[in-house]
Chain A
Amino acid sequence: NAGVTQTPKFRILKIGQSMTLQCTQDMNHNYMYWYRQDPGMGLKLIYYSVGAGITDKGEVPNGYNVSRSTTEDFPLRLELAAPSQTSVYFCASSYPGGGVSNGYTFGSGTRLTVV
């Protein structure tokens, strides 16, 4: 059982380049999320999805786009990369509803540097 898988683990982009961060989960979770974590800061929600075909903006969506064509996959697209997007990106998934089972499962993260 792989849980949440993110690729790539590391990437260096030049200003203005584009890339897609991949995220897939095999737990049949409805909810999926993208967070970014800057040094010494908490996790900031970029986008989230409550199911296939449904996405919505989080706290810091500017400069990013997402899609959710299947339950398993939730890719994050960066268009025209900027130095301010240098961060560690985490994908996570969860069941909806309450209870212990609603704790997030995180991927291992993608360290992105924009130069």
Chain B
Amino acid sequence: GQNIDQPTEMTATEGAIVQINCTYQTSGFNGLFWYQQHAGEAPTFLSYNVLDGLEEKGRFSSFLSRSKGYSYLLLKELQMKDSASYLCAVRDRDSGGYQKVTFGTGTKLQVIP
């Protein structure tokens, strides 16, 4: 099974930088995703990491350390529209070889003026 931990809530100021951490435990790690979910909407894909290091995509970056079971999502130049929940999701292989994705409970980010 998996255990995924991320903070429940965070608050940050418009224009600032915020880092959302995610730790996980799994036996057959095969990738980590970050999704953004605005209130009342479906999650949308943000980033994917399978190798150690930093993946940058515009204002958003995601980092992975497989040996530490740790990832973070970095949001730069925060905008009000970035207020949303950010879901960390880990993919691993189950006993049947199927790649299963488990989601964390999400971090609710509030951006304030």
Chain B contacts with A in 30-89, Cβ cutoff 8 A: 30-31, 33, 35, 41-45, 48, 50, 87, 89
18 A-B pairs whose Cβ atoms sit less than 8 Å apart in the complex: A40-B105, A42-B87, A43-B87, A44-B103, A45-B100, A45-B101, A50-B98, A58-B100, A90-B43, A98-B31, A98-B50, A99-B48, A102-B91, A103-B45, A104-B33, A104-B45, A104-B101, A106-B42
Residues of B within 8 A of A40 (CB): 105
Does the CB pair A98–B42 fall under 8 Å? no
Does the CB pair B50–A106 fall under 8 Å? no
Interface residues on B, range: 20 to 34
B39 to chain A, nearest CB (A): 11
Closest to A100 in B: B48
Q: 1/0 per position for A79-115, CB-CB distance to B under 8 A?
A: 0000000000010000010111011111111000000
Chain A residues in the interface with B (C-beta under 8 A): 35, 40-45, 48, 50, 56, 58, 90, 96, 98-100, 102-109
Does the CB pair B103–A43 fall under 8 Å? yes
Chain B residues in the interface with A (C-beta under 8 A): 4, 30-31, 33, 35, 41-45, 48, 50, 87, 89, 91, 96, 98-106
Does the CB pair A96–B100 fall under 8 Å? no
- A107: contacting residue among B30, B31, B42, B98, CB under 8 A: B42
Closest to A107 in B: B42
